[in-house]
Amino acid sequence: MSMNRLLWMEHVNWTRMTIMGIVFGLPDLPSVQERLLRNATDLGNCLRPFYGDNIADRYAALIKEHLVLAAELVTAAAKGDPNKAAEAEKQWYRNADDIADLLSSINPYLNKEEFRKMFYTHLALTKQEAVYMLQKNYKADIEVFDKIEAEALEMSDLIAGGIVKQFPGMLRQMAHHLMRWCAVLSICILSNSIPK
């Protein structure tokens, strides 16, 4: 489940780099956005062993939509288009509802309202980060990003905790196999003969 934490940290870091690319017109923006969108696939793949391909692909698609809508919102704000920004923000929150609906429908330990509230906080903080960056208030922008990182870890832990509660036997079995593999690998390293 530590992979989920890593992926949520990547999520907020690549989002930040995308916002910076949009706000400051950085030349690496297309490459940064491409890498950011890969995060959606990675997050979907985290769910795949537990919920199968359909759920994992649906989750990945929703996270990708979340990321695209965030970029559209920041782009509209940077260009001074309040109508387009408002529409992107409205869709961004609808997407958050869809994510909360999906996660709570597949896992009885993930409370829809609790997750929705947490995800709304994620959106509000991310928007504030972009606003401060557009206003060139970099100190406040960095302070908000610290909150974004902490909140992303809380979301990750909530999701991972729900999975652990839902699949305790599966996770124990995975841990057992991992421990056996580590023991075999240790013996091979000590005897200097790694099997091919």
Q: Record the pTM.
A: 0.86
Reported residue count of the chain is 196
* Ranges under pLDDT 70 in the chain: 1, 170-196
User: For residue 169, what pLDDT is reported?
Assistant: 73
- Exposure class string for 37-65: b at 16+ Cβ within 10 A, else e: bebbebbbebbeeebeeebbebbbebbbb
pLDDT at position 21 is: 98
Q: Are 4 and 159 in contact (CB under 8 A)?
A: yes
Instruction: Look at residue 75 in the predicted model and tell me its pLDDT.
Output: 97
Q: Would you say 133 and 93 are in contact if contact means Cβ atoms under 8 Å apart?
A: no
Strands (E), the chain: none
Residue 190 has a pLDDT of: 63
Q: Where are the domains of the chain?
A: 2-167
Encoded tokens for 69: 């809508």
Residue labelled with tokens 């421990």:
179
The average confidence (pLDDT) of the chain is 91
Measured distance CA(28)–CA(157) in Å, rounded: 31
Query: CB atoms < 10 A from the CB of 130, how many?
Result: 24
| Predicted local confidence at residue 194, as pLDDT | 54
Could you give the C-alpha distances from 157 to 105, 120, 154, in angstroms and in order?
A: 18, 16, 5
Report the pLDDT value the prediction gives residue 2, as an integer from 0 to 100. Answer: 74
